[in-house]
Amino acid sequence: MKHALFSCYFKDGIENFAKELEENGYKIISTGGTLKALEKAGVNVSDVSEFTGFHDMLGGRVKTLHPKIHAGILYRREKPEDVKEIKELGTQPIDIVVNNLYPFKDTYLSGASDDNIIEKIDIGGPSMIRAAAKNFKYTTIITDNADFERVIAEIKENGNTTLETRRDLARKAFMLTAYYDAWIAKYFNEKCGVEFPDEITLPLKKISELRYGENPHQRGFAYTLYNGDESGIGEAKQCQGKELSYNNYNDASATIEMVKLFYKKPTCVAVKHTNPCGIGEADTIHEAYLKAYACDDQSIFGGIVGFNREVDKATAEELVKIFLEVIIAPSYTKEALEVFEKKKNLRVLEVPGISEVRKGGLDMKVLPGTVIMQDHDDKEDCKLNVVSKAHPTDGELEDLIFALKAVKFAKSNAVVLAKDGATVGIGLGNVNRFFAVQAALKQAGDKAKGAVLASDGFFPFDDCIKLLAENGVKAIVEPGGSIKDELSIKAADELGVSLLFSGTRHFKH
């Protein structure tokens, strides 16, 4: 007689599946809560202890960890030595294993006590799953209840599952145990304070197959690295619009990270190709958007706009006047959502955590054959050192701090001109810092007069200081650290410009 072993935390559909296996000649054996659920449903099921002749131990920690179970799962039917040993042991082949694991990840993320988290580390489950997956030539392993229909259809048609199906189910099984163990390793690294272990496996889960990648000839997929943070793009709630594309994901994530820097006041960030094209900070979201729009009313077209406060009807009515790909906010009024409905393809995302400051976390880039990682750049440069004779006014200092936040997410070499809580010129992605300054000044035009500038890196020469002063810029902040800092300080003093050093570089490549 064929045997099917059930041991499931998630029990959806197991009763009907077990009954269909019974009808097709399988004897059902089970453990604990799964046993009770099957008995209640009227399945003729035997306790694992009857199969092994051994009772549960240690409060249920030891149930299936027994030679008769694992020999039955790993039994190779065509090997004479295996046939002999199975008979001597007095056990039976186990042809199907149905198992899913204790919810370790959910328990870990729920804030449960360490004792409760540890108890959700499944031992018997992964052992049975790996054994059955290894022996897929003979044994069918089911770790996803959604596969019940597929398996029973093949059994009804062929009397057994096909080798192709068993191999695919083994693939899914090993993916599950790898993902499961990655979460356990993540937990222990966190408890031990190890951020960059010698070996690392990231628990990634596919959330979407995209229409294509960065370009139409590339395939694209989205995976989530959810760790309890509700502000990541993978956790966004889509209120309306088309599916997000590869580029949408990338740009939307950059938008979220930019918005989170400006948590103190209502702020709007407009993004194009992961770069800011306008940022506005004001007393209301509506005014903040108008400031961001005014910085570059051309580049914002087809871009993404993010907010750190609820979007109201008046702001929504401004937003629909132009073509945008995505709008992101912590929430929307009912009236604002009604306005957006006029543009069916407009993607409207709700990310409640976007208004909270980002602390901690990792940034990573996947290179051919290599992954590089670093701490998230969450340092705020609020302790600025005035190195010139001239000192900034209170208003200029506030704009300098604003500009420093804005320049952190502009691709290097980058500079940002700001005035009255808004960007007025952005120079980014240049191979020369002087070129970046020229680009920002050209965009700002007359708005550069009375503005301030933040640079993500130091000025290697005094030419940038002189050009900025010529165009009416009153205050400048840069990291400092050039061997020619004294030339920049001297130029600032001669031209009556306030020059401040932050002591921190913010390159973004």
Asked if pLDDT for residue 309 goes beyond 80, the answer is: yes
pLDDT of residue 266: 95
pLDDT of residue 137: 94
Residues contacting residue 192 through CB under 8 Å, at least 6 positions apart: none
Residue 46 belongs to a domain:
yes
Q: Are residues 295 and 180 in the same domain?
A: no
- Name the 3-class secondary structure at 226: coil
Q: Catalytic site residues? A: 134, 273
What would the two tokens of residue 185 be? 């390793």
Q: Are residues 129 and 221 in the same domain?
A: no
- Name the 3-class secondary structure at 215: coil
- Cα R_g (the chain), whole angstroms: 30
Q: Are residues 281 and 391 in the same domain?
A: no
Instruction: Share the mean pLDDT of the chain.
Output: 89
Segments in 192-278 forming alpha helices (H): 246-261
- Name the 3-class secondary structure at 410: coil
What would the two tokens of residue 465 be? 């200081």
Average pLDDT over residues 418-438: 89
pLDDT tier at 228 (50, 70, 90 boundaries)?
low
Average pLDDT over residues 115-121: 92
Asked if pLDDT for residue 427 goes beyond 80, the answer is: yes
- Alpha carbons 4 and 137: distance in angstroms, whole number: 16
Q: What is the pLDDT of residues 124-163, one digit of tens each?
A: 889 999 999 999 999 999 999 999 999 999 999 999 999 9
Residue 363 belongs to a domain:
no
The CATH code of the domain that includes 141 is: 3.40.50.1380
What would the two tokens of residue 400 be? 């300098």
Asked if pLDDT for residue 358 goes beyond 80, the answer is: no
For the chain, helix, strand, coil in percent to 5 are: 40, 20, 40
Query: How large a percentage of the chain has pLDDT more than 70?
Result: 95
- Of the candidates 199, 205, 208, 200, which has an alpha carbon nearest to the alpha carbon of residue 179? 205
Residues contacting residue 494 through CB under 8 Å, at least 6 positions apart: none
Residue 431 belongs to a domain:
yes
Asked if pLDDT for residue 421 goes beyond 70, the answer is: yes
Domain end among 192, 221, 255:
192
Q: What range defines the domain where residue 436 resides?
A: 379-501
Residue 82 belongs to a domain:
yes
Q: Are residues 226 and 323 in the same domain?
A: yes
Residue 424 belongs to a domain:
yes
What pairing do the DSSP bridges indicate for beta strands 415-418 and 26-30? unpaired
Q: Are 240 and 337 in contact (CB under 8 A)?
A: yes
pLDDT tier at 508 (50, 70, 90 boundaries)?
confident
- Alpha carbons 394 and 391: distance in angstroms, whole number: 9
Q: Are residues 68 and 149 in the same domain?
A: yes
Q: Are residues 170 and 34 in the same domain?
A: yes
Q: Are residues 175 and 311 in the same domain?
A: no
Q: Are residues 275 and 403 in the same domain?
A: no
What pairing do the DSSP bridges indicate for beta strands 347-350 and 326-329? parallel
Residue 69 belongs to a domain:
yes
Question: What DSSP character marks residue 311?
Answer: B
Asked if pLDDT for residue 44 goes beyond 70, the answer is: yes
Domain end among 192, 226, 258:
192
Please give the tally of structural domains in the chain: 3
Residue 219 belongs to a domain:
yes
Q: Are residues 16 and 93 in the same domain?
A: yes
pLDDT of residue 302: 93
- Alpha carbons 216 and 209: distance in angstroms, whole number: 14
What would the two tokens of residue 82 be? 């295996």
The sheet carrying 96-100 orders its strands as: 45-47, 26-30, 2-8, 96-100, 140-142
Asked if pLDDT for residue 94 goes beyond 80, the answer is: yes
The CATH code of the domain that includes 286 is: 3.40.140.20
Q: Are residues 409 and 452 in the same domain?
A: yes
Q: Are residues 397 and 342 in the same domain?
A: no
- Alpha carbons 13 and 4: distance in angstroms, whole number: 15
At residue 397, φ and ψ (nearest 5 deg) are -65, -40
Q: Are residues 187 and 229 in the same domain?
A: no
Asked if pLDDT for residue 54 goes beyond 70, the answer is: no
Residue 358 belongs to a domain:
no
HEC sequence for 101-145: CCCHHHHHHCCCCHHHHHHCCCCHHHHHHHHHHHCCCCCEEECCH
